[in-house]
């Protein structure tokens, strides 16, 4: 569905990212449809936000590319059918949720959400309905006529997430969605992101974070961004399949011994 192909990024002579290769495949569970949650983790300053920018298409890599596969209507002799097409990522392909949840200060929540919904052809004519549904589900129905300055950090974050969901992108990219949240809000956000992936089978969530326990608890796959001895720049040093370890899609995962062992293993790679 998404592939990083030998992505490197340098600023002048300073190499930040080196030869990054990974792919996000579509996981299919028997009898169940759901989206995927992938985390890119690594210590502070390692290059996560830079990789986030490359993935979003907002930053061109110095070499290599991010390829995405998407469903596209195609004309055939028998009418229009959906086919998979591969191409290089462009700005706007992904729903991007920045760390500071930037919102336009002069628009109310409702106005911002309506603007997002209008960008999604699938919602033509039912924008208001879709907004009401998400606002209820994510508990911001009371804030529809508020301006961003009148919202709490957690509310702003939920508005940002709904905005991107309304736009209808298949990929949601989140930079540090767990930072600066108190423990109660953190639980709520984790639950909400899980809800998004569970309720919409076609969404892929890519989370960039240094909060390793939370990232591991919510993901089905983890990629570790780190350094290799004697080499400049950061690269993917390990991929961990949490599904294989029985750690994916579970609420009680933190109590599992394998969960603590996995965290210990990750620490040795950072
Ligand atoms: N425009 C730039 N020119 C040169 N170096 C840069 C530029 N932007 C970022 N860097 C460097 O890239 C490296 C990676 O930064 P990045 O913001 O991606 O780290 P991070 O892993 O997201 O850290 P954190 O967990 O603290 O958010 C840092 O060493 C930073 O100084
Ligand atoms: Mg960062």
Q: Which of 112, 122, 18, 120 is nearest to 63 (CA)?
A: 18
Q: CA separation (Å) from 114 to 165, 167, 239?
A: 12, 10, 39
Mutate to test the pocket of ligand 1, among 39, 40, 46 (most ligand atoms within 8 A of CB): 46
Q: Closest Cα to atom 7, ligand 1: which residue?
A: 11
What DSSP element (H or E) covers 187? helix 183-199
More confident residue, 250 or 30: 250
Mutate to test the pocket of ligand 1, among 16, 174, 235 (most ligand atoms within 8 A of CB): 16
Phi, psi of 26 (to 5 degrees): -80, 115
Name the closest ligand to CA 13.
1
Q: Which domains does the chain have, with CATH numbers?
A: 2-94+169-269 (3.40.50.300), 100-166 (no CATH)
Mean pLDDT of the 220-237 span: 95
Q: Note the pLDDT tens digit of each residue in 15-53.
A: 999 999 999 987 766 666 667 899 999 998 999 999 999
Q: Note the pLDDT tens digit of each residue in 64-105.
A: 999 998 777 888 888 888 888 899 999 988 999 887 766 778
pTM for this prediction? 0.88
Q: For ligand 1, is residue 11 a contact (CB within 6 Å)?
A: yes
Q: For CA atoms 4, 5, 6, 10, give the dihedral sign.
A: negative
Q: Which of 10, 39, 21 is nearest to 214 (CA)?
A: 39
Q: For ligand 1, is residue 49 a contact (CB within 6 Å)?
A: yes
DSSP letter at 27 equals: P
> 8 falls in which pLDDT band (50, 70, 90)?
very high
- What mean pLDDT value characterizes the chain? 89
Collapsing DSSP to helix, strand or coil, 254 comes out as helix
């Amino acid at each position: 569905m998404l592939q990083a192909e030998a992505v490197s990024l340098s600023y002048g002579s300073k190499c930040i990212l080196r030869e990054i290769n990974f792919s996000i495949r579509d996981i299919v569970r028997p009898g169940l449809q759901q989206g995927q949650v992938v985390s890119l983790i690594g210590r502070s300053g390692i290059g996560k936000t830079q990789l986030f920018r490359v993935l979003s298409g907002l930053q061109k890599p110095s070499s290599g590319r991010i390829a995405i596969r998407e469903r596209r209507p195609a004309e055939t002799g028998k009418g229009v059918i959906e086919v998979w097409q591969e191409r290089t990522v462009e700005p706007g392909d992904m729903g991007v949720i920045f760390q500071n949840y930037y919102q336009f200060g002069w628009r109310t929540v409702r106005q911002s959400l309506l603007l997002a919904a209008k960008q999604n052809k699938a919602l033509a004519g039912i924008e208001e309905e879709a907004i009401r549904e998400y606002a209820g589900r994510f508990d911001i129905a009371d804030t529809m006529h508020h301006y961003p300055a009148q919202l709490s950090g957690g509310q702003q974050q939920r508005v940002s997430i709904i905005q991107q969901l309304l736009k209808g992108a298949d990929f949601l990219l989140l930079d540090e969605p767990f930072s600066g949240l108190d423990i109660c809000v953190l639980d709520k956000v984790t639950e909400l992101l899980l809800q998004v992936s569970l309720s919409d089978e076609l969404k892929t969530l890519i989370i960039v974070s240094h909060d390793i326990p939370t990232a591991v608890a919510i993901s089905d796959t983890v990629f570790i961004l780190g350094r290799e001895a004697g080499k400049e720049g950061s690269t993917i040093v390990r991929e961990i399949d949490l599904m294989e370890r029985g750690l994916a899609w579970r609420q009680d995962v933190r109590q599992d011994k394998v969960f603590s062992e996995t965290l210990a293993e990750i620490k040795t790679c950072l």
